[in-house]
Amino acid sequence: MKKVLIIITKGDWAGAQRVVYEIAKYIKLNYSDTLELDVAIGIKGPLNEELKSIGVRVIELNNLIWEVSLSSDTKAVREIRRLIEENQYDVVHVHSTKAAFVGRIAARKANVKNIIYTVHGWWGIERFSGIKRYMVSRLEKYCAGFTDHMVFICKRDMSFALKNKIGPSGAYNLILNDVSIDSTVEPSLRKTFGISDKTTVIGNIGRLDDTKQPQAFVDIAQEVLKKNKDYFFVWIGSGLVKPVIEPQYKNKIKFVGFMKNPYPYLRDFDLLLMTSKYEGMPITIIEALKYNIPVLSSNVGGITEYLPSKNLYMNSNEAIGKILKKNYEKNIVYSDPDMAKKYAELYLNG
C-alpha cells in the first residue's frame, strides 16, 4: 500500500480543486487496495467537505496561506514536513503555486521519493515583471530541480517550461484536465429570472478577482445591451471584486454568487463568455463544451488548444462583434477521460 499526500493552497471549488476531487474520487473507487490518499488544504472551503463526503481524509494546514509571508511560509514548510514524516508518505502531489513551493521544499527535506507538481498555468510568473518575475522564475527552477514529475494541463504551459528551462524535459508529463458532469440536470436559470426563450443568455463561472476580469465581462455586457436589449448576462462565483454596473443595466446583468452545483444555470447559457487575464485549462470551458454550449474566450493559457481561433478575442470590440453576429465555430471537447487514472499510475510507478 502506497501512501499519497495531495497538497493544495485553497479549498475553493474551482479548476485545480475540481481536479483534486476527481483524482481522489477515482482512487477511492478504483485503487483503495493499493493507494491510501490524504489531502492537505491551507484555506478551508467547499473542497474540504466534498472530499470528506467521499471518505477522503482531509488535513487542514494552519500555516499554508495564499499571500507571500516569509514567517508563515517557513512555518508551513515545517508543518508539512512534520506531517509527511509522521505519516510516512511515499508520494507528495502539489497543486497551485504557493502549495507547490512550500510543499515540494517540505517533501524534499522529508526525503520523499516521488514528488509530483501539476502546473495549473504559469500566471504566478506571468503576472509579474522585473525583479519579482525573476525571483519567482528562480524559485520555480529551484523546486523543479527536485520534482520527479511535472504535469502540464496544456501544451502551452509545457512549451513555456521548456523555453524557460524549468525542470528537465524528461520529467514532463502532459495530462489534460477533465471533470465529470451531471448530464441529467434540468436547466433552471430562465425560470428563476423570468427570461424568455427569445433572450440570449451569456454567462461565465469563476471567482470574482482581478485575474478573471469580471469588470471586462460587465463592460462587454453593457456595450452589447446598448445595441440590443434581448440579452441577459450572468456571472456565477464569489470573491472580493465588485464590478461596476450602470443602473439602467442592473436587471440585465446579474452576479449570483457561488453555486456548488452551477449546472442548472449553465445549461441555460447560449454562450459562455470567459474574460480571464490568465488561465491554464479552465474547467468551466470543458463543462460548457460537454453541454454543447459555444464559448467565446480571451486568448490566454491553453485555451487556444481546444477552441478554434474564431472563438478567441483580444479586445472587447472584437468580442462584441462576435456576440452580436453569433459567429461561432463548432467546438470539440479536448479533455482526457483517463486523467485520474494517469495520476494514479504516476503514484504507483513514479
More reliable by pLDDT, 307 or 91: 91
pTM score of the predicted model:
0.88
Averaged pLDDT for residues 135-156? 95
Query: pLDDT tens digits for 223-235?
Result: 999 989 999 999 9
pLDDT value at residue 304: 84
User: Once rounded to an integer, what is the mean pLDDT over residues 314-339?
Assistant: 72
Q: How confident is the model at residue 167 (pLDDT cuts 50, 70, 90)?
A: very high
Task: Quickly state the pLDDT bin for 205 (edges 50, 70, 90).
Answer: very high
Q: Which residues make Cβ contacts (< 8 Å) with residue 241, sequence separation at least 6?
A: 208, 209, 210, 214, 215
> In whole angstroms, what is the distance from residue 197 CA to residue 58 CA?
44
Instruction: Identify the CA nearest to 113 among candidates 97, 89, 95.
Output: 89
- Residue 220 pLDDT: 93
Burial of 141 (0-12, 13-18, 19+ CB in 10 A): middle
Lookup result for grid cell 510568473:
125
Could you tell me which residues are beta bridge partners of residue 254?
A: 234
Mean pLDDT of 197-214: 94
Question: Residue 125 pLDDT > 80, yes or no?
Answer: yes
268 versus 334: the higher-pLDDT residue is 268
Give the CA diameter of the chain: 63
What is the full DSSP assignment across 335-348? --TTHHHHHHHHHH
Q: Grid coordinates standing for 253?
A: 446583468
Which of residues 227 and 187 earns the better pLDDT score? Answer: 187
Mean pLDDT of the 217-246 span: 94
Single out the residue of 196, 237, 198 nearest to residue 217, CA to CA.
237
Output b/e per residue, 254-293; b: 16+ Cβ within 10 A. bbbebeeebbbbbbbbebbbbbbbbbbbbbbbbbbbbbeb
Query: What is the share, in percent, of the chain residues with pLDDT greater than 70?
Result: 96
User: Among the listed ranges 60-69, 100-109, 125-134, 185-194, which one has the minimum average pLDDT value?
Assistant: 125-134
Grid cell for residue 40 = 492537505
Q: What pLDDT does residue 321 have?
A: 67
Query: Averaged over 77-103, what is the pLDDT?
Result: 97
Collapsing DSSP states into helix, strand and coil, what is residue 237? Answer: strand
